[in-house]
Structure 1
Amino acid sequence: MKTYTLITGASQGFGKAMALEFAERKMNLMLVALPHSGLPQLSSFIKEYMDVDVRYLELDLSTTKSCYDIAEYVDKHKLQIKYLVNNAGVLSRGLFEGLNEEFILKQIAVNVTTPTLLIKLLLKNMKAAAPAAILNISSMASFFALPKKQVYGATKAYLTSFSKSLGKELKKDNISVTTICPGGLNTTTRLCYQNRILGWIPRNTVLNPKEASRIAINAMLKRRKLIVPGFINKCLMLLDKLLPEFIKDALTNREINKFPAGKLQT
């Protein structure tokens, strides 16, 4: 039976790296990303040079209709989804007071509503492909209180918590749920610059997308529940439990203040 891996936010950055990694492992793909983001070209390249079947949809995942459009396409074309990767996300943008309401709601829609609804709509399909797996892309921001990342961190905290509970429920259906919580990723020129001006410790939490995609996919296939990639990142998780709050606040504020208000953050 031919099965597919469905990846959201698949045209650029981490999503693109995962699409290429899955294709190298000879897994057929169903890719979803924003219109005009290079998805048709990526899909054609993978299909031509990597010998796997690729389907794609260009959709804005900030609307719930897009989730239903994906489910309808899967049903109409009788695609069997074995792996679902919820990667699409809206990143941070600055101090809460300066954010407009439309941006906040869009961030919550893409980061929270879309992965939740997409899992719900595709669950019956995935049960038929069991053993199957869900890979949710969260963030280390889900564990920390970070100025300028307040909504982003909260949405990722939801995804991390939701994944843990869902994994327990779906165990009986032979569907695993893996959450990966990376630090920074060098996915764009802007982010490469931002990551370079950080201090030594946060700078060394950053991974390149290809390395992160390999770690994430391996963890999913091994049915691991939660993974924080990178040695420094693991150390930071431990230090968070040991350091007093005032020291953590001082370290956090020093790094956050390197970014001008209103600039895109990871």
Structure 2
Amino acid sequence: MNRFSCYTLVTGASDGFGKALAIECARRGMNLILVALPGPGLHHLANFIKKNFFVEVRFFEADLTIEAECYQLYSNIAKHHLPVNVLVNNAGTGNTQMFTESSPEFITQQIKLNVLASTLLTRLFVPELQRHTPAHILNVGSLCSFFYLPKKQVYGATKSFIYFFSKSLRKELKYDGVSVSVVCPGGMNTNLSVSLMNRKANFLSRISFLNPERVAPIVIDKMLKGKEVIIPGLVNQVSMLLDKLLPAFVKNILTDKLMKRLKPVNIPTVQIHKDSSPMAA
């Protein structure tokens, strides 16, 4: 069974990078299963792809922070007999906040979406991918997974997990006809608020930001060629090179200077009630 009779499953497909990846796959004649939170974006994208590309498109609304919905998604796809040979774990959420500014609830949801959902969906679909080789898994990480940045502590940690998980899984599936790739982009103009924020950034930050529509063709091409780690953008690639060349003490000095420039914040008190909080012992 070739890839054109199978389906590519893309999570977080309704906007941003996921939308760009889905459209690029459609351009290449790949049938699609689109997954995102309930909302008009998913319907609009599915209709756009159906009108402009000769591919099959199915879509499912799901909140992947809920474990049961991950299982339900897998069950629905199996029930409709949709063979999957490409899994794109794109769904995720980021933020730029000091640790004490993030609510415990947000942190929990971020870890569930960025780590648990991708891991669980991969586990559910790997046997399916092994039945429809050659197959591919594309996990969306981040350049943050290589750097210890203030205001990116939990997000960076979740993406470090994705990086480690992808590289380890690649070794396990190497001889099963399933290639595992991880893409580690830097900043991307995924929505209007990010674009506006980018305009206020310094020159180096501005030129490092990429447009999803330009990144997607590069990423899909390298995924299909079996590339292990994909880092789009020249500035991001240079950043990786400098990270390897600079001694640890120099990087620590630069990080300390960055921390001194950050405004001090009042640490909010977190109220934990034993009768309702999932964090209670």
Deviations 1:140-193 (A, max 9, x none): 000001111110000000000100000000011110000010000011111011
Are 2:98 and 1:95 aligned? yes
**Pairing partner for 1:125 from 128, 138, 142:** 128
TM-score normalised by the chain length of structure 1: 0.93
- For residue 48 of structure 1, report the CA deviation from its aligned partner: 2.4
Map of 1:145-164 to 2, 5 A cutoff? 145-164=148-167
Letter in 2 for 1:134: I
Which residue of 2 is the match for residue 58 of structure 1? 61
- For residue 248 of structure 1, report the CA deviation from its aligned partner: 2.8
Which residue of 1 is the match for residue 179 of structure 2? 176
Map of 1:228-239 to 2, 5 A cutoff? 228-239=231-242
- For residue 47 of structure 1, report the CA deviation from its aligned partner: 1.3
Rounded to whole Å, the distance in 1 between the matches of 2:125 and 2:254 is 41
- Contact persistence 1:196–1:203 (CA under 8 A): yes
Which residue of 1 is the match for residue 38 of structure 2? 35
Rounded to whole Å, the distance in 1 between the matches of 2:186 and 2:257 is 16
- For residue 253 of structure 1, report the CA deviation from its aligned partner: 4.4
Map of 1:1-266 to 2, 5 A cutoff? 1=1, 2-243=5-246, 244-249=250-255, 252-253=258-259, 257=262
> Over aligned residues, Cα RMSD in angstroms?
1.8
Structure 1 gap ranges (5+): 262-266
Q: Residue 112 of structure 1: SS of its match in structure 2? A: helix
Q: Residue 204 of structure 1: SS of its match in structure 2? A: helix
Rounded to whole Å, the distance in 1 between the matches of 2:240 and 2:195 is 23
- For residue 245 of structure 1, report the CA deviation from its aligned partner: 2.3
TM-score normalised by the chain length of structure 2: 0.88
Deviations 1:174-229 (A, max 9, x none): 10000010000011111011122222222211110011111110110010000111
Q: Report the count of equivalent residues.
A: 259
- Compared with structure 1, are the counterparts of its residues 202 and 133 closer, same or farther at alpha carbon in structure 2 (3 Å cutoff)? same
Rounded to whole Å, the distance in 1 between the matches of 2:29 and 2:257 is 44
Identity %: 47
- For residue 239 of structure 1, report the CA deviation from its aligned partner: 1.3
Deviations 1:86-134 (A, max 9, x none): 0000111411112111110100000000010001001111111111000
- Contact persistence 1:146–1:252 (CA under 8 A): no
Q: Residue 57 of structure 1: SS of its match in structure 2? A: strand
- For residue 250 of structure 1, report the CA deviation from its aligned partner: 5.2
Rounded to whole Å, the distance in 2 between the matches of 1:252 and 1:167 is 36
Deviations 1:34-56 (A, max 9, x none): 10151012112211221211000
- Compared with structure 1, are the counterparts of its residues 218 and 168 closer, same or farther at alpha carbon in structure 2 (3 Å cutoff)? same
Superposition misfits of 4+ residues, deviation over 6 angstroms: none
- Contact persistence 1:5–1:27 (CA under 8 A): yes
Rounded to whole Å, the distance in 1 between the matches of 2:231 and 2:165 is 17
- Compared with structure 1, are the counterparts of its residues 246 and 119 closer, same or farther at alpha carbon in structure 2 (3 Å cutoff)? closer
Rounded to whole Å, the distance in 2 between the matches of 1:68 and 1:17 is 26
Rounded to whole Å, the distance in 2 between the matches of 1:34 and 1:199 is 33
- Compared with structure 1, are the counterparts of its residues 29 and 218 closer, same or farther at alpha carbon in structure 2 (3 Å cutoff)? same
